[in-house]
Structure 1
Amino acid sequence: MHIPFAPSRRATLIASLLAVLATPAAVLAQARYPSKPIQVIVPLQAGSAADVGTRVVLGKVGENMGASFAIENQPGASGLVGADRVARAAPDGYVLGGITDSVLNYAVNLAAKTSFDPLNGFEPITRMANIGWVLVANNNSAKSMTELVAQAQAQPRKLDYASGGNGSPHHVAMELFSSANKLQLTHVPYKGATQATVDVAGGQVPLMFSAISVALPLIKDGKLRPLAQPAERRSSLLPDVPTFTEAGMPAFNFSTWLGLYAPKGTPKAIVDKLNAEVARALTDPGVRDRLLGLGLDPVSSTPAQLDELTRSGHARIGKAIRDAGIKAE
């Protein structure tokens, strides 16, 4: 038996069909996001704090979303090469960047010019972690901060230090420390922090500032000697390593952070979805334990908070670099 639709129901169905047909393809694509693998560019070396942090966090995000995140390292020019690639990508949510403030606040302040706008060339999504730091030396070098300062003062410019590249946080941290203590050290820049840290452990270069996440395995193996932590309090991962103040030095605080960014113009719906998924991942006990065990403090934020953090850090670090007279080499 055929029962016809009531006129009101038929009108509702027709209106719904017309609404779907009139919906822009871009809106439908956002609703289905993600419908293919998402490429994430980390503009620093494999094994860096940015690399391991991004992999841990987005690994859980992918698991929760049923999505695939393909992490690609593209180091070069202290992160500027990879960051430029993110900025130039299509703003559709399928190319993201796991980028630290070492790129957006340090490297860009030392570069004569950049091919992207560090403050307006991205859509901030969320902060993912704070990164703790430590000053380390190899086993043939200084055994304490007192000995290090004495060596540097006795032989100006004879003591070398490694970094992840010109304008990297390793470079800037050491220059700020040297300037505050009137020391003259010689910079040995590498193309990434991972190799620099390995060479310090191997005795090719005496010392460097390092992210705890990168240095920790070598510290545990006895190949690197931690001298002091540039923080107000000791990291739980290095409970026996003094802060600079505890080591008899002037107070010196230094830390960086890791954020997730998209190209400028990425739809707000996609940014908000990724923001919520990262926040969800960071509440997972397993993710938090893994990050903390690597020397990374899991911290999320709103897009607006990350934008403000980027802008305020850019101004603050830029001033510190100029005041200390740090120059790109």
Structure 2
Amino acid sequence: MIARRRLLAVSLVPAGLARARAQAPAAPETWPSRPVRILLAYPPGGSTDVLARTLAERLAATLGGPGFVVENRPGGAAVVGTQAAAVAAPDGYTLSLGTNQTHAANAAMVRDLPYRPVEDFAPIGRLAEVHHALVVPASSAARSLAALAARGREGGPLTYASSGVGSASHVIAESFVRRERLQAVHVPYRGGAQAVTDTVAGTVDFFVSTWPQVVTLVQDGRLRCLGLGAPRRLAELPEVPSFAEAGAPYMAVDAWFGLWAPAQTPQPIIDRLSAALPRILAEPGMTARLATLGFLPAPLPAVEFAAFQRAEVARWRGLVELTGIRLEG
């Protein structure tokens, strides 16, 4: 749950935001002449944090200047750090590395969201994506998504794990439950690690996880994957169907990661950053680093990324309306 007072506190900032943007300077030719901070609405140590720090290092090497520094601002379903970026001065010295949660899902899921994911930001580019997968214990009798759905309709309630109330794993799984009209009970966890452990143990019937979190267990035969959000089957696991093949294309909802600046940041700065991202993501070292984290490089330049984000906001609005999952302000 998001503390009401925290949301109320950050909701008071837009007046200051308007003043800061009115005073925004033109893009200096020497940019960046001081450190650029990348605000991250997630705690240190996770894969998103590693992505941000790796990107910061490569941006500094590519664009020069005193460097790019990651500043973690977790809290409130990723609202706190994202709001801080939304109200920062649009001078090119504050960026936001966000996700489908911060810049799409929260628009529909968080009541009285104190920032606007589209209007308050200038898109720079998409960075990467991660597929989701539905997995069941190896001991499960369900060998297909259709068989699992049949059991949920005819054999009593299923139990499904999630990495937390309002998480993508919760919303995607609940969309499966609602669309297929299943009897099911949600079992939320604090993060995906224990959810995976209990799925392996058979404590719950299924779990919608990010693919990197479960791929090794699927390969080892400790979990069975009934559907994956990839557009086609993977060469290394040809027995795993895509969600489209499994009859549930609506479940192919990827996690994705992008870079933004506050709205009204000078266009020359946006252009320099947007041009740098595809080059950085194509570097062999960067590609290898992303692979170790389970990320798939998925660069989109600013204009295309803006259109993609708007479509994702609409998609998540539909998912939230379907599932009824919301976070209280």
TM-score category (smaller protein)? 0.7 to 0.9
In structure 1, the partner of 2:307 is: 308
SS class of match (1:300) = strand
Q: 1:220 to 1:42 in 2, by over 3 A?
A: farther
Cα distance between partner residues in 2 of 1:142 and 1:69 = 51
In structure 1, the partner of 2:159 is: 159
Correspondences of 1:24-103 after superposition (within 5 Å): 26-27=25-26, 30-46=28-44, 50-66=48-64, 68-103=67-102
2:317 pairs with 1:318: yes
Aligned partner letter, 1:149: A
By how many angstroms is 1:315 displaced?
A: 1.8
Cα distance between partner residues in 2 of 1:126 and 1:68 = 19
Summarize deviations over 1:248-289 as a string: whole Å, max 9, x none. x44443223211011223222222221122122022122223
Structure of higher CA gyration radius: 1
By how many angstroms is 1:191 displaced?
A: 5.1
In structure 1, the partner of 2:116 is: 117
Q: 1:245 to 1:269 in 2, by over 3 A?
A: closer
SS class of match (2:285) = helix
By how many angstroms is 1:174 displaced?
A: 0.9
In structure 2, the partner of 1:272 is: 271
Cα distance between partner residues in 1 of 2:279 and 2:76 = 33
By how many angstroms is 1:127 displaced?
A: 0.8
Q: 1:46 to 1:175 in 2, by over 3 A?
A: farther
In structure 1, the partner of 2:148 is: 148
In structure 2, the partner of 1:230 is: 229
2:257 pairs with 1:258: yes
2:290 pairs with 1:291: yes
Is the Cα contact below 8 Å between 1:234 and 1:243 reproduced in 2?
A: yes
Summarize deviations over 1:228-249 as a string: whole Å, max 9, x none. 21343124564442223545x4
In structure 2, the partner of 1:169 is: 168
Q: 1:49 to 1:137 in 2, by over 3 A?
A: farther
Is the Cα contact below 8 Å between 2:107 and 2:117 reproduced in 1?
A: yes
Cα distance between partner residues in 2 of 1:44 and 1:197 = 21
Q: 1:70 to 1:188 in 2, by over 3 A?
A: farther
By how many angstroms is 1:197 displaced?
A: 4.6
Aligned partner letter, 2:42: L
Cα distance between partner residues in 1 of 2:304 and 2:52 = 19
Cα distance between partner residues in 1 of 2:195 and 2:160 = 12
Q: 1:42 to 1:196 in 2, by over 3 A?
A: farther
In structure 1, the partner of 2:209 is: 210
Cα distance between partner residues in 2 of 1:149 and 1:63 = 50
Cα distance between partner residues in 2 of 1:192 and 1:84 = 23
Q: 1:308 to 1:287 in 2, by over 3 A?
A: same
Scaled by the length of structure 2, the TM-score of the pair is: 0.76
Q: 1:251 to 1:41 in 2, by over 3 A?
A: same
Is the Cα contact below 8 Å between 2:105 and 2:313 reproduced in 1?
A: yes
Cα distance between partner residues in 1 of 2:33 and 2:236 = 40
By how many angstroms is 1:41 displaced?
A: 2.5
Q: 1:283 to 1:142 in 2, by over 3 A?
A: same
Is the Cα contact below 8 Å between 1:172 and 1:326 reproduced in 2?
A: no
SS class of match (1:160) = strand
Q: Which moved more, 1:238-247 or 1:101-110?
A: 238-247
Q: 1:38 to 1:251 in 2, by over 3 A?
A: same
Identity %: 32
SS class of match (1:282) = helix
Is the Cα contact below 8 Å between 1:45 and 1:192 reproduced in 2?
A: no
In structure 1, the partner of 2:135 is: 136
Cα distance between partner residues in 2 of 1:84 and 1:290 = 29
SS class of match (1:260) = strand
Is the Cα contact below 8 Å between 1:123 and 1:261 reproduced in 2?
A: yes
Is the Cα contact below 8 Å between 1:77 and 1:165 reproduced in 2?
A: no
By how many angstroms is 1:223 displaced?
A: 5.7
